Amino acid sequence: MENSYLDTYEYGLIATDMVDITILPTLCEKILGKEEYIKNLNDKSRVPFKYVNKDSITQYHYYYSLMELGIEEVDVIVTKIKELVFKLFGWETFYLKMWGNIYRKGDYIGLHKHMDNKSHTKFPYAISGHYFVHSTQPTATTFFFRNHKKSPHDSTFKEVDVPNIPGEITLFSSYIEHEFKQWDGDLRISLAFDINNQPDADIELLEKWKFIKV
């Protein structure tokens, strides 16, 4: 993307790349097949993710890693993420957390960011992303980017709908607010992930949050 408000780590999207789209049909089936399993992981030991409707598996992302559910297609995506991260930042290893999102008619993800300001001191090298799998009609993720054309310290934001393209990985700063507005289609599936490469990261905390070293 060449838009000026999408060209830096702090203020917008970092990069996009495509993964072999032939994996999409079987990946879609396997994620749907894990839906009830993921819901049953909820032992009520953690506060549910509050920005989604109550039936969404997104609220259970604290309880599992998609990388540990034996889905071969996820391994292909992780390999692509590693290639992209190495190309952009030179990181050979890092910690990765990944979960699934399944949305049906009326579902949504409210405005949120993956790392809040309180997390910044613990995770200053935080990158987030998503991999889009399937939808029954065109869809987009709405990002709120800092309008830094005026000043790096300007507090105004630009609302941008970034189309969700099946097979595409999107990387963005973990501090960028974004949302998925109420879905009017039948089915929408995506994977979301967080990346951390903090040199002195709290490994125990990362593992508690289901980050895995890759």
**Quick one: pLDDT at residue 192?**
94
Confidence bin at 74 (pLDDT 50/70/90): very high
Check residue 2 and give its pLDDT.
38
| pLDDT > 90 in the chain, percent | 43
Query: Which pLDDT score is estimated for 99?
Result: 94
Checking if the pLDDT of 7 tops 80, the result is no
**Based on C-alpha coordinates, what's the Rg of the chain?**
17
Torsion angles phi and psi, residue 86, rounded to 5: -65, -40
What range does the domain containing 94 cover? 4-213
pLDDT at residue 8 tops 50: no
Q: Summarize pLDDT for 110-125 with one digit per residue, the tens.
A: 778 787 655 544 554 5
Segment 20-40 mean pLDDT: 95
Instruction: Quickly state the pLDDT bin for 176 (edges 50, 70, 90).
Output: confident
Instruction: Inform me whether the pLDDT recorded for 82 exceeds 90.
Output: yes
| Torsion sign (Cα): 69, 75, 80, 81 | positive
Would you tell me how many other CB atoms lie within 10 Å of the CB of residue 209? 17
pLDDT band at 5 (very low <50, low <70, confident <90, very high): very low
Residue 127, H or E segment: strand 126-135
User: Which position has the higher pLDDT, 84 or 173?
Assistant: 84
189-198: average pLDDT = 91
Q: What is the CATH number of the domain that holds 100?
A: 2.60.120.620
**pLDDT grade, residue 11 (50/70/90)?**
very low
pLDDT of 205 higher than 70: yes
Q: Decide if pLDDT at 1 tops 60.
A: no
Segment 88-94 mean pLDDT:
90
CA distance 117 to 63: 23
Higher per-residue pLDDT: 81 or 175: 81
The mean pLDDT of 162-181, rounded to a whole number, is 88
Contacts of 210 by beta carbon, 8 Å cutoff, 6+ apart: 61, 62, 63, 64, 65, 97, 99
Angle at 195 between CA 67 and CA 143, to 5 degrees: 110
CB 107 within 8 A of CB 174: no
Q: Interhelix angle for 24-33 vs 72-89, to 10°? A: 110
- Give the containing element (helix H, strand E) for 28: helix 24-33
What's the predicted TM-score (pTM) here?
0.85
CA-to-CA separations, 110 to 5, 18, 52, 155, in angstroms, rounded: 22, 26, 6, 21
